[in-house]
Amino acid sequence: MLDEIAATTALHSENVGIRGILEEVAAVTGMGFVAVARVTDTRWIACQVLDQIEFGMSPGDELRVSTTICNDIRESGNAVVIDNVSSDPKWHSHPAPALCGFKSYISLPIILDDGSFYGTLCAIDPEPRKLVGPDTVPTLMRYAARVAAILSRETVSG
């Protein structure tokens, strides 16, 4: 039997609106793996994924939250954008790139209508990508806000 967090996360795993947003993020960024993750102080759970690089993660799968950059986003509330982790002075020694095998990364907080932190809209790719730029974060923040609106509606009606 699923616990409450896993059960709530599972409700969102088939939402076509979220699926469309993941496809748009992949198209805009060129990233091969895009996901919505439920992130708490103790858990990271994949809510919905678009996996074009055979990363191997499915909805409901979990990572140890302490090894994720998403946990840093949960703590700070700030987006993280990495073009190439090996040349990024802040993130090159973080455990997540080595554990997950990615070179480029972008993740944004998902804040629900009630102001609570749900998790992240994140994307990774095994190749470096040009992500840092004046339009990237604002564009992807709009995608994260759209995901938040869907999740907020589903939480109220679900």
Q: What's the full length of the chain, in residues? A: 158
76 falls within a domain: yes
pLDDT category at 137 given cuts 50, 70, 90 is confident
pLDDT of residue 15: 80
pLDDT of residue 129: 93
Q: Could you tell me the CA-to-CA distances from 142 to 109, 134, 158 in Å, in that order?
A: 11, 14, 24
Give the integer Cα–Cα distance in Å for 60 and 10. Answer: 6
pLDDT tens across 70-81, in order? Answer: 889 999 999 999
Segments forming the whole domain that contains residue 115 = 4-153
For residue 42, the domain's CATH number is: 3.30.450.40
pLDDT tens across 26-42, in order? Answer: 999 999 999 999 999 99
Global pTM value: 0.88
Strand order in the sheet with 44-51: 62-63, 44-51, 33-39, 117-125, 104-111, 80-82
96 falls within a domain: yes
88 falls within a domain: yes
158 falls within a domain: no
133 falls within a domain: yes
Count how many domains the chain has: 1
